[in-house]
A and B are shown apart, each in its own frame.
Chain A
C-alpha cells in the first residue's frame, strides 16, 4: 500500500538559507499535518491543512510557511534558517473523520543547518 512520501530524506543547509520540504499524502487523503521533532524531543505540531486550506496552526515560526496544492501534496517552506531549525520534520496524512481516523506518518526529512 502507498504510504506518505517525504522528500528529501536528508537536507543540509547553511544559516540564513531557505529550504523546501515536500510531502505527498496517501492517495485520497485530504488532510496533511506537519511536525518538527528536535533531538530527544516529542513531535511538535506546526500546521495542518484540509482540502487545501489551512485548518490549524501550532508553534510554527513566522519564517516558515506551508501550503497544500491542488493534488493534495504539501510543501513546508523555511526561510532565514537558524541552527535551531535542525530537526526531523514529519508529515502525516489522514482522511477527514470525526476524530476517529488514524493518521499515517512519513519517514521524515532530517534537516541539518550548519
Chain B
C-alpha cells in the first residue's frame, strides 16, 4: 500500500492560515488523496479529498502537487475548534475497501 508521511505535530495561532503537508511519493495513478481529522474523544471526520486538481470546500482547501507526490491541507483561518489530529490517507479507486490510517499530524491552535 502506498504510504503517507506527515509531521508529528504543528502549531498555529488562532485566525491564521495553517498548511499541513503530506508526502506520498509512492502514490499510484488510481489513488485518491483523502484528509480526515480526529478531534479529542471523537470519531474521525472527513475533511476533503482530491485526485489531481486542487479542491476547495467549506472546511478547507487541498493543494496537490503536479507530480502528486505530495499534498497540502490548508485551513484558511484556524480556530480553537480545529485543534485535532489530521490524517492524510490514500484510497485506491480500484480497492475502496482499503482504508488505512497512518500517523497523522497533531495540530495545536494557540489563542
Which residues of A approach B to under 8 Å, CB–CB?
Answer: 4, 31, 33, 35, 42-45, 48, 50, 55-56, 58, 90, 92, 94, 96-108
Contacts and interface: CB of A to CB of B under 8 A. Distances in A.
B46 A31 contact: no
Given A55-B97, A99-B96, A42 B43 contact: no
B30 interface: yes
Given A99-B32, A99-B92, A92 B43 contact: yes
Contact of A104 (B46, B95, B103): B46
A48 B95 CA distance: 12
A90 B43 contact: yes
Contacts, number: 68
Q: State the main secondary structure of chain B at its contact with A.
A: loop
Contact of A35 (B34, B85, B95, B101): B101
A110 B31 CA distance: 32
Interface in B52-111: 85, 87, 91-104
16 contacts: A42-B87, A42-B104, A45-B100, A45-B101, A48-B97, A48-B99, A56-B95, A90-B43, A90-B44, A98-B93, A99-B93, A99-B95, A100-B49, A101-B96, A103-B36, A106-B43
